[in-house]
Amino acid sequence: MNFNNHISAFSISALLLISLFSCNLTDEKQQENKPLNIIYIMADDHAYQAVSAYGSEVSKLAPTPNIDRIAQQGARMDAVYCTNSICGPSRASILTGKFSHINGFYKNVDGGDFNGEQLTFPKVFQKNGYETAVIGKWHLGTTPTGFDYSKVLINWGGQGTYFKPQFCINGTDTVTETKRHSTKTIEDDCLDWLANKRDTTKPFLLLYQFKAPHRDWRPDSMYHDLFSDFDFPLPETFNDDYEGRLAASENMMEIGRHLNRRDMKQTPPSGLSRRDSMRWLAYGDKGQYWSPNDTLKGDALKYWKFQTYIKDYLRCVAGIDRAVGSVLDYLEENGLSENTIVVYTSDQGFYLGEHGWFDKRWMYEESFKMPFLIKHPRIIEAGTKTDAMVMNVDFAPTLIDMAGIEIPTEMQGKSFKGVFEGDEKNQRQSVYYHYYEWPIWHKVQPHYGIKTNRYKLMHFYYSMDEWELYDLETDPNEMNNIYSEAPEELIENLKHELHELRKKYRDDGSIEEIRRMTDTVIRRVYNEPNKLMK
Ligand code: CA
């Protein structure tokens, strides 16, 4: 090779390098300017204790490696709370960015249907050029609005079933899935929508929502053998006697006394009518301390019910973990990962034996707190952990804010985007709660309350007048109600702050008025699929 050749070879390589470099710069620039897609994943009743990113003992034995990928690549949020810990109301608050009494959907039972004419965050995205879809559990009665595509569970009162789930597509066509488990069906439908159904010229917002792991915890057969060779440890408060907590002592959601035969996957005797068979399966709901055989009694019976319950629950969670993994894989394999915000959460928390319970509804930590993992390729550093206080009414304004769209002023929630941008001053100092449903299911007394960084104050007001106060620093399990012994000044300050929140959110009606909300029966006009087909 002569000198000239050297020069030309050098020039060509340099030119190539320069052009490659500028190409990368242009690509990066384009990537940065591209609108962000959003996948909002929500399970039903998935306790943070059962997400291994949160590190609980239970989750170490039943890890969720795929869900954890979102936390590893983004953030784990440790203080995210719902305003009303029950399925429909939490979903309505998430969609509207408003508290239950404002969006109107404050009870599951006799609480009517969601008013789909009001403003929701999917509508905001749709109006701003996004392709929008919801696939899976909806549970709000009325047909989803604000979506270019919807395929939602409608049987079993909108809960959907694990097997033979029925879906309604775009508010018109009813289909029954006969082969696949509900989680697998929803997973396949989402992948199909991402790959084949959406308009790829637009950014997208996808709500990917599971029925699992809601009661009655029926896992896919591929997970039946999972956890069969060991038992789960009992939580510290498993044998709580509810001393000092009158409302809790009247509950009907104890593992020992209120799990029914259906929950425990018992088979009714043959020859019973359908009605008698349903009754037989529901036996246990009213506190009957039933046993599957004559020898299993007392603590051993409670232990058996707990193991049966938690194993099926966690088998349902394993299905969700797989389904989350396949969508994350799809994003990575199709170059969408760097341009898509992914959220994983649940409509509320859940008891996995803490206080001896299953179910939710209380403002106690396990059901009040929601798991919340979020990956945002542009502003959230991988492996972030934050204890900034956030509420579910904040999800809508935050996602809108993260997409660079103006937040509608009527939303009561507050964007927490600033948490990831070093804006610590502008964060919530406290969160507000209000639960209304009574007495079914589970006889949880209506209550409202406030949580600050350290304390939680609750007022149970419906058929009693009881206050509870917890110091979460010294008593994180909320076993010791210190209301009667705490300094007056502390109680006064908390009551003042609670009053201010109630005023701010326009939930400051008198006790008589809020009791009346519980008593008000609003009939559901919701369409069951068999009615639709008639
Ligand atoms: Ca739920």
Cα 105 to ligand 1 centre (Å): 14
Cα 348 to ligand 1 centre (Å): 6
Instruction: State the Cα–Cα distance between residues 72 and 14, nearest whole angstrom.
Output: 38
- pLDDT the model gives residue 1: 38
Specify the 3-state DSSP secondary structure of 435.
Answer: strand
Cα 60 to ligand 1 centre (Å): 23
Per DSSP, what are the bridge partners of residue 206? 39, 133
Q: Which residues contact 248 (CB under 8 A, 6 or more apart)?
A: 240, 242, 355, 362, 364
- pLDDT the model gives residue 33: 75
- pLDDT the model gives residue 359: 97
Instruction: State the Cα–Cα distance between residues 152 and 172, nearest whole angstrom.
Output: 11
Q: Does residue 525 contact residue 141 with C-beta atoms inside 8 Å?
A: yes
Cα 49 to ligand 1 centre (Å): 15
- pLDDT the model gives residue 2: 43
Cα 258 to ligand 1 centre (Å): 18
- pLDDT the model gives residue 525: 76
Cα 89 to ligand 1 centre (Å): 9
Q: How are beta strands 447-452 and 455-460 bridged, if at all?
A: antiparallel
Strand order in the sheet with 466-471: 430-435, 447-452, 455-460, 466-471
Cα 525 to the center of its chain, rounded Å: 25
Cα 50 to ligand 1 centre (Å): 14
Q: Does residue 101 contact residue 517 with C-beta atoms inside 8 Å?
A: yes
Cα 85 to ligand 1 centre (Å): 8
Cα 425 to ligand 1 centre (Å): 32
Q: Which residues contact 465 (CB under 8 A, 6 or more apart)?
A: 459
- pLDDT the model gives residue 533: 41
- Per-residue tens of pLDDT for the chain, all 534 residues: 344 444 444 454 554 444 444 545 555 555 667 899 999 999 999 999 999 999 999 999 999 999 999 999 999 999 999 999 999 999 999 999 999 999 999 999 988 899 999 999 999 999 999 999 999 999 999 999 999 999 999 999 899 999 999 999 999 999 999 999 999 999 999 999 999 999 999 999 999 999 999 999 999 999 999 999 999 999 999 999 999 999 999 999 999 999 999 999 999 999 999 999 999 999 999 998 899 998 999 999 999 999 999 999 999 999 999 999 999 999 999 999 999 999 999 999 999 999 999 999 999 999 999 999 999 999 999 999 999 999 999 999 999 999 999 999 999 999 999 999 998 788 999 999 999 999 989 999 999 999 999 999 999 999 999 999 999 999 999 999 999 999 999 999 999 999 999 999 999 999 999 999 999 999 877 755 544 443
Q: Does residue 32 contact residue 378 with C-beta atoms inside 8 Å?
A: yes
Cα 44 to ligand 1 centre (Å): 4
Cα 486 to ligand 1 centre (Å): 34
Cα 308 to ligand 1 centre (Å): 20
Cα 214 to ligand 1 centre (Å): 7
Cα 138 to ligand 1 centre (Å): 11
Q: Does residue 132 contact residue 170 with C-beta atoms inside 8 Å?
A: no
Cα 403 to ligand 1 centre (Å): 27
DSSP state for residue 385 in the 8-state scheme: E
Cα 43 to ligand 1 centre (Å): 8
Instruction: State the Cα–Cα distance between residues 130 and 203, nearest whole angstrom.
Output: 5
Tokens representing residue 116 in the block: 């789909």
Cα 484 to ligand 1 centre (Å): 33
Q: How many CA atoms lie within 13 A of 486 on its CB side?
A: 19
Cα 347 to ligand 1 centre (Å): 5
- pLDDT the model gives residue 32: 67
Instruction: State the Cα–Cα distance between residues 60 and 171, nearest whole angstrom.
Output: 41
Cα 361 to ligand 1 centre (Å): 9
Q: Which domains does the chain have, with CATH numbers?
A: 35-224+301-533 (3.40.720.10), 246-300 (no CATH)
For ligand 1, a single-atom ion, the residues with CB < 5 A are 44-45, 87, 347
- pLDDT the model gives residue 3: 42
